[in-house]
Amino acid sequence: MPLNDHEKQILEEIERQFYEQDPELARAVATRKPRPEGTWPVRLATVGLFVGLAVMLVSFSRSTLVGLLGFLTMVGSAGFLAERFAARYRLLDTRLATRVERAKQRMRRER
């Protein structure tokens, strides 16, 4: 669903404020490439999730202890992934909500 004109105007205002408030950060964000080393913990946790699931399913009927270790690996990996993604989205949501609210206040004052 495309943005309407009012939403586009608010978005442009947010972007303009971003560039005005901290031009160095704006340049850094615009030119920053994703760091592959930052994805290793997520990759490792994803592999841990699937390995833990496989170990649990294959060995639970034969060895309860090994199945339990697989389950704990799976739960730990899933918890790590959930917390990592939740923290990232909380930070982004807070920053965006603040900027949107400021832009709305300025738009109201200009009317």
Give residue limits of the domains in the chain.
1-33, 36-110
Mean pLDDT, residues 1-6 taken together: 79
Q: Is the pLDDT of residue 47 over 60?
A: yes
Of 100 and 55, more confident: 55
Distances, alpha carbon 57 to alpha carbons 2, 3, 60, 102, in Å: 45, 47, 6, 52
Which of the given ranges, 17-21, 23-27, 55-59, has the highest pLDDT on average?
55-59
Choose among 5, 8, 2, 14: nearest CA to 105.
14
- The reported pTM is 0.49
